């Protein structure tokens, strides 16, 4: 089983959501609530591969999970 985690700072998620209107906009408290509930996946949960996906200027950057450390999350 493969796992792909989007590594997005809460501040970036809030900024993107603020640009949306109507039902497309996610309330700030929901963004923060979900961010607080996120947990770091582990291979012993049954994942064969773990990947992190980051949004970059030109699209998406996909790296092996080792590229993500807890200190990178905001």
Taking 3-state DSSP, the helix, strand and coil percentages for the chain, each rounded to the nearest 5, stand at 40, 25, 30
Task: Note the pLDDT of residue 29.
Answer: 97
- Domain total in the chain: 1
Task: Note the pLDDT of residue 14.
Answer: 97
Can you give the residue range of the structural domain that contains 34? 2-72
Q: What is the mean pLDDT of each run of 10 residues along the chain (74 residues)?
A: 89 95 96 91 85 91 72 43
Task: Note the pLDDT of residue 55.
Answer: 87
Task: Note the pLDDT of residue 73.
Answer: 43
pTM over 0.75: no
Task: Note the pLDDT of residue 28.
Answer: 97
How far apart CA 52 and CA 74 sit, in angstroms, is 14
């Amino acid at each position: 089983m493969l796992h792909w985690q989007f590594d997005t700072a809460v501040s970036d998620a809030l900024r993107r959501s603020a640009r949306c209107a109507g039902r497309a906009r996610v309330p700030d408290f929901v963004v923060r609530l979900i961010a607080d509930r996120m947990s770091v996946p582990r291979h012993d949960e049954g994942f064969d591969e773990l990947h992190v996906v980051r949004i970059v200027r030109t699209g998406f950057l996909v790296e092996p999970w080792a590229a993500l450390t807890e200190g990178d999350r905001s």
